[in-house]
Amino acid sequence: MGAIEEREILGVKVSVVDTAAALEAIEEFISSGRPHQIVTADSSAVVLARKDHELREIINSASLVTPDSIGILWAARRFGHPLPERVSGVDLVELLCERAVGSGHRVFLLGAAPGVAERAAEKLKERHPGLVIAGTHHGYFKQSESETVIEKVRNARPDLLFVAMGIPLQEKWISRHLEELGVPVSMGVGGTLDVIAGRVKRAPKWMQRLGMEWFYRLASNPRKIRKCSTLPVFVYLVLTSKG
């Protein structure tokens, strides 16, 4: 495929892709062998990036930024440049693992609490027989331990690295170590490993379709209030912005 078309929402880049186009782009990134960073951007990421200049620069320089919330789709429509569909991190991980079985691509899971990545790896291998999980590591390591983690990833030689540390930590960690890691595709996936491991339930399909997944997450885990509190800020910024 050619160059990926992009839109700007409140100063933050978002790629004009549907799920199929995102998967095609990722396959090309892997084939190139060069390191690429992928960001799955939701409304909270855009709000955070407004004040966090490092995060904004990381998102705007990423190889692919998928629209990972109904809020992003709504904002794009309001600004007159609609996006095809929501492309979520959870769905991308599952679809990329499904494809990896046939392609032989190796996957590394990094992040979440101790034991979660291992459990998620078991679940993924159950759902996608033949999938090669090259390695796992929890996300509760100190900055001083990063070199050890990087070496573990490099030695595993994955084609896909899924990092579940939450925004903006995962994006910043990937960006700072992208070349060192040497992985063709590194993607921040937030709470995806918790979902795959079964520690956190995803909202029912009907709530996802209605854009109410955020409400389900908040009801299931009140500690998400800080992230959900960015939603009214996002709405206000969109309503008062000229695009």
Please report whether residue 224 resides in a domain.
no
Cα end-to-end distance, the chain, whole Å: 28
Q: CATH number of the domain at 68, please.
A: 3.40.50
Please report whether residue 36 resides in a domain.
yes
CA–CA distance, 207 with 216 (Å, rounded to integer): 8
Please report whether residue 98 resides in a domain.
yes
Q: Provide the domain limits for residue 32.
A: 6-197
Please report whether residue 42 resides in a domain.
yes
CA distances from 181 to 34, 109, 148, 157 (A): 11, 13, 11, 9
CA–CA distance, 95 with 103 (Å, rounded to integer): 12
Residue 128, token pair as written in the block? 């996608």
pLDDT in tens, the chain (243 residues): 678 999 999 999 999 999 999 999 999 999 999 999 999 999 999 999 999 999 999 999 999 999 999 999 999 999 999 999 999 999 999 999 999 999 999 999 999 999 999 999 999 999 999 999 999 999 999 989 999 999 999 999 999 999 999 999 999 999 999 999 999 999 999 999 999 999 876 555 655 554 555 544 544 554 554 555 778 899 999 999 875
Please report whether residue 147 resides in a domain.
yes
Please report whether residue 226 resides in a domain.
no
Please report whether residue 211 resides in a domain.
no
Please report whether residue 237 resides in a domain.
no
Tell me the HSE value of 74 on the side-chain side, using a 13 A CA sphere: 14
Q: How many domains does the chain have?
A: 1
Identify the CA nearest to 110 among candidates 141, 143, 147, 136.
Answer: 136
